[in-house]
């Protein structure tokens, strides 16, 4: 009986670790189809501020782990790429060189005039370099998409310090419009 309990507990631990590693990953064929179509949504899960003032404030919070990574709400912060437009909704933590009073300091913009250059690394990851031409405060966005659907994004701005985000990509959500009869 003791052997049976040990076997079941080992099996339970293995299943727990399997479920932890399989979160928010996609099949390689799905990722390749999203990358080749250049239409996907990046979902930010963590923000990595580069400013040491922000990191020092975070380290000063009691009972806070001494990391510079901020967990974000799932599904709230995204970059949505479509053929005709790009929508960016991301938070910003860091130093801004131009004050914007009374407004949200995050990245919230829509671009209809942007250029994308896509390349592949030696390891098989895809790198998108996006340069919006009709947005004033964002100079470029780099998205590196890994084979399992995870992604790393960096945003450079004209008036702020850079910031990076970790997350994953998924298919764009289709908005269904009901016809009125």
CA proximity to 83, closest of 39, 47, 52: 39
Domains of the chain and CATH, by start: 25-170 (2.40.128.410)
pLDDT digits (tens, 9 = 90+) for 3-37: 656 666 655 555 555 544 445 556 778 888 888 89
Start-to-end CA distance of the chain, whole Å, equals: 67
Cβ-in-10-Å burial (0-12, 13-18, 19+) of 137 comes to middle
Does the pLDDT of residue 65 top 80, yes or no? no
Task: Name the residue with higher pLDDT: 58 or 95.
Answer: 95
Distance between CA atoms of residues 177 and 175, nearest Å: 6
Residue 137 confidence (pLDDT): 82
User: 14-18, 39-43, 56-60, 166-170: which range is least confident on average?
Assistant: 14-18
State whether residue 174 is helix, strand or coil. Answer: coil
Residue 21 confidence (pLDDT): 47
**CA angle 119–164–34, rounded 5-degree value:** 40
Query: Are residues 173 and 103 in contact, defined by beta-carbon separation less than 8 angstroms?
Result: no
pLDDT digits (tens, 9 = 90+) for 70-100: 788 877 899 999 988 999 999 988 777 776 6
Q: What is the DSSP letter of 124?
A: S
Task: Name the residue with higher pLDDT: 65 or 17.
Answer: 65
**Count of beta carbons in the 10 Å neighbourhood of residue 114:** 17
Contacts of 101 (CB under 8 A, 6+ apart): none
Work out whether the CA dihedral 75, 81, 87, 93 comes out positive or negative: positive
Ranges of H-type helices in 2-159: 2-21, 28-37, 52-60
Residue 14 confidence (pLDDT): 56
């Amino acid at each position: 009986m003791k052997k049976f309990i040990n076997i079941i507990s080992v099996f339970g631990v293995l299943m727990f670790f399997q479920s932890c590693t399989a979160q928010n990953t996609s099949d390689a064929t799905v990722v390749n189809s999203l990358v080749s179509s250049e239409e996907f949504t990046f979902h930010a899960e963590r923000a990595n501020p580069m400013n040491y003032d922000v990191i020092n404030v975070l380290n000063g919070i009691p009972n806070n782990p001494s990391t510079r990574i901020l967990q974000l709400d799932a599904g709230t912060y995204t970059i949505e790429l479509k053929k005709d437009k790009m929508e960016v909704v991301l938070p910003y933590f860091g130093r801004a060189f131009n004050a914007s009073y009374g407004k949200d300091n995050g990245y919230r913009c829509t671009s209809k005039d942007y250029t994308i250059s896509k390349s592949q690394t030696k390891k098989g990851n895809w790198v998108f370099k996006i340069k919006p031409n009709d947005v004033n405060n964002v100079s470029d966005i780099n998205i590196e998409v890994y084979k399992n659907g995870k992604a790393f994004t960096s945003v450079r701005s004209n008036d702020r310090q850079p910031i990076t985000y970790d997350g994953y990509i998924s298919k764009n959500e289709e908005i269904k419009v009901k016809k009125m009869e």
